Structure 1
Amino acid sequence: MNRFLFIPHPMPLESPTSLLIRAAKKNGFLSVRHMSINVLETGATRWLNLRLQSGPLFRLLCTETPDLAEDFRKIFFDQPRQSFSRSTAILVDGNEVPKNSLATIFRPCPQCIKEGYTRSPQDLIFFENCPYHNIPYLTQCPICSARNHWYEINGFTCRCGFNFKDSVDNTTTKPLFFPLTSSFGQNNVTKCFNKHFDDHILRCSFSNCTDHPTLALPAIHSIENLIKEELNTYCKLPLSAFEAPWRRLREEKLRSEILKYVHQFKRNVVECQTANCCSTVRLNFTELRYACHTGRARVRQMIQDGIVETNTTPSSSQIYYSSPNLCAIIQGELTKKTESNVAKIGETIYLNATQTAEILRTTKTSVLKLFNMGFFEGSFISYRTYYMPKSSVENIHSNYITANEIAREYSISSKTITNFLKKLDIYPILESLTHWIPSLYFRSEIYEILTHHPIPTPRTYSYGRPVDEEWLSKKSESLSLDFRTLKDLIRNRFKWRPPYFRLSENQISLIDTWRSCHHSYAEVIGELGITYEIIGSRFQSTNYINTETWGLTNYIHSDDVARMKDHLFRYYSVKQAADALTVTSKTIYLLIEKRALKTGTPLFTRSGQKLIMILKNQKALSPCSLALISPNTPPNSVK
């Protein structure tokens, strides 16, 4: 029996939102939500899944009109990786976008809606203008200013009666707006810009669908004017403080332009206009650390000693730091850092620990261990920095060689080198009494030994990771599982270890047998047309079914799936009954209390909560009987 009287033909590049709205209107339903309640066996489903190929409306449309199934598949969004997270990626016109990018508000393009439908970019929240006509989307009704949800709108008409097809074109592009009044103390400044550029990248991925030029990056004139004003206001504040809020921008071009402008700008004012003007400047921990060019420990010490004051914003939990003489504090820290970074004292040149580690081909921690052992003559510590004479480091490098340097030269691991030299009775000159002592050998002795005893090549295993991955990929396709899920199943359920491609035929048959009678949650949701919440609240919490969890995936046995299907066929929950009669849950409870609705065997959760189940096969559930079973009707008058 067909549940649709008329199914509209998909238009070119039409969005699933537009198709569902047109289908609901043609079949006499008030909205897409009203249509899903009446045509789906499970009643209304989550609006997030109605536009997906895994959703129940898509399967129903393809079942009733198989000739248009391929056209529907091009319109509805695909979700390659099934997941219950709102940020799971979906495919829109072949482009991968997060699932939480789908808009809930009906936002038509005035030009597209005049053609009788809308295109897919209007369903994505990061599009503010139609890429086909360069016109801003209508986010609210021009008459009553109402914001209509796409699954509740009646056709393309607002609740006030305004038809969006009659909307007037507004060819002016909506200007970009960034609510920035100051570079300092703004909560989530970097997050605001990064979010904008992430959306811009997603918009650019759809630029191949239009002949119009791609959307340009926003101009930075407003940012430059803001920085110019602040540079002249806080004229004694070091430039590192102005760089700090803008360093973490992910958009490289804008970040480099802003930092370049900060360095090239010449201040016209040399004295502050007001006393203690820097007291209005607030920096968070990371920005203060960068402004002072110091480490975390020094910033914590400044906070503990009360050098800077701690401030919190009422709107968030973000902590900022300020001081009336912040410019003097930052300048003092920069001066200390400059004076402590001594590279030359008299005629002696010094190297820090990082530079020494690069020369000796070892780690910085190993260099500090050698420093504490007195290995570098004439070394010293200044302002938490270790300095070694360059002549001493070069002398050590010319006489000694580390295992890591040999390993890099021969492209093998350092462990292979040390084991090989131990077999030749060659041991490091320093005994490894503690951790991080580098393996040092005499350079001349090592070169002589390696001349007569070549290093053996590492043994190649008969099985490797690529072979295992190839087998897992093929097997996961045959079992309709993804690569990671199959790997977790074999490791956790069967307790087998790699190499997996060497599994016997008996072991493989065990996997096939187990898989044939177990279904993942995603498969059950797609087969029964229910949601994850229904499985958890109605079946799992009441111990009606037994589930298995292996890795990150939950599985249900085929027998339990059949029981679930039978239970869904025979019973409504209170919420499903309320959706079927388009009433509230409170009304359903009143009807049950007056015995106007017949109930079946209830379910009980683990905590003892009672779940009322309502029989589907009863006349009282027909919409035409709603007037006869109103809550005000006496129980005896209901037949």
Structure 2
Amino acid sequence: MFRLNYTPLPLPNESAVSMLLRCATINGYKSLKLLNRAFELELNDNVARLWQGCATHRLLTRHSAITPEDKAQIDNAFHQLTHEKGRNFMNIHGVTFPASILRQELALCPTCIRTGCLNRMHIYRWSDVCPLHGESFLQRCPQCSSPFQWLKLDDFYCPCGFDLRTAPTTLQEHHSSKIIDRAMSENNNEFFSLLMACMNALRYLSTTDNRAMLLDVCVNIADGKKSSFFEEMFKLQKKMPSLHRRALVAPFILSQHPILSGYGMEYYFVTQQSKPAGHPVDCSCGNLLFTDKELEFVFATKENVTQLKLDKRCISAHNRTIFQTTLYNCPDMCASLINHNAITWDEKDKITIKPSPSKLLNVNEAAEVLHTSTARIRKLERAGLLKSVVLHKMEGLFTTLPLIKEFNDRYILKSEIRSRTTLKPAVVNYFLSQTSPLKIGGAPYAADLPVYRRDSLPKELLRAMNDTATNIIQHPLGPNSLITFSEASKQLKVNVKDIKPMLELGILRVAHTTKPNGAVGRDFCTGNSLEEALIWRASHSSLSEVSTKAKCNQHLVHSRYITSGFAEFIELSCNKFVTTETADKIVAHYKKFTTLHYFANEAGCTIKSISKLILSEKIFALPSDDPNYINGQIIFDRIQAKQALSEFYSAKPRSIRIASKDIHYI
């Protein structure tokens, strides 16, 4: 027997497991075990082994009566298997997930059993409640307490003889399940990307008793609103009031998802937490799990974490790993943070549930605001005068404008005094000699940094200063205004060395000045030309801005699109610029198309195997007359290539192991 008498089509939102169970019934097989034996489908107890191109999928789609529309429906019920960088991924309804998201054992909704159609949500490990009926999924037979053996189910009768249609139901709140189900119907990749990142971050709180609560937290955060993130962090903080917020937000700040990381940093900055008077006895802080990197963030340095491990105040959680990285727990986390000298507590508590829009500033932007150098900003941060957070040595520190304003209301640097007054340097030095500054030390033999308290400065000096609200000052432009090359480069967001080429191209115009003695003075940019240059700059993007928008590295943009002649550009001394239309074209091309070498690295395959698929016309390379073709490179559609690669590996007789430890879900 080589084909089915009847091939079922998937019902709305039905899983492939459910469709296969119906297939066995309507074709006269008492169980999937018999269907499996008759057609040699190579099914086993793992219900996750149903992907496009597998023997089961080929069986359902090879019937002569199947139309292209019917095949598309069946294809949509099966997930696409892809292999990238040594890990398995599934594309389900247009959304990409790690393969470990799928259950390996069957879970059933009692009402879905009675209707004969299992909702697709029952195949996911993090889904415990049916979105249609609000009933908890059954994972064991109520009579024999054995896990369901899906191959041996006879019309939903357990091998022990129990009719699963009569199983008792347990109603649960299913608001989150409905939101996830709706997002899947809408193919909302952004929602699921944030949901997966949030689940990874919250795995340090996960227990068997709070899975439903944490899923609600993740779903609320996944809507992408900053206010939702702050509200959920506030709820979690209330559950552990003595836990320092550094530990609470560490997994979020260090998340690979930029939105989650940004929200975590903002929450850390805008909230304040006073030192707790005591530590509740029933606090669950000892059960929290962290990676080495997260512990280094919480306790500020690797040396501090090493000392905690030596003191047995930080121990390895046996058999608990994520991405093959060992997890640790501190038996008395709150007490370790309360008494640690690297942890700073605030004078009072301040919880912000509805945050105002704020921008995180890096060290260069902070230096620009305070009219000083980046080295001095780092000195202020190390001295504790400027509140900031360092995520990684390569990323540097971050702070916010309100925190800089808070520092600037109490202290002022000599460089800022000079920039905000028209007094001569000798006069400024005379006034400053009347007060004693704080001296911030640095490296050995380096000069100390003087920091002056505003309330100790002479009144004459304060009156002479242009002491407006702290901000990045931009000089008013006009026909008679003159702007230095340095200030023009800041406003145009270019390197100061790019100003001369911009003058040569006519983007800027120069005004020559003369000294009182008639000698040639300094050159300035005219105000009118800077206004025109700002309009030009708004319509052009640098390669670094294009790479940020495309989410790739700048070298790739340069080698693939600039040197190949695919995109026209304007070259200055330190950077190249393209029009916004060209930038959009590059971004769209990068997202849709890829190259032979890049795709081989992306998919974790050899160039030889990808080349064979191209030569056999499984992957369609663009011809040279195609407008998206890039000279000297093999270009093809990324999605079509992934599908071809998936079909190629699915057709090969091999064993696919879906490791449950690829990722931890709550």
Q: TM-score, normalised by structure 1?
A: 0.49
- TM-score, L = length of structure 2: 0.47
Greater relative contact order (CA < 8 Å, ≥ 6 in sequence): 2
Structure of higher CA gyration radius:
1
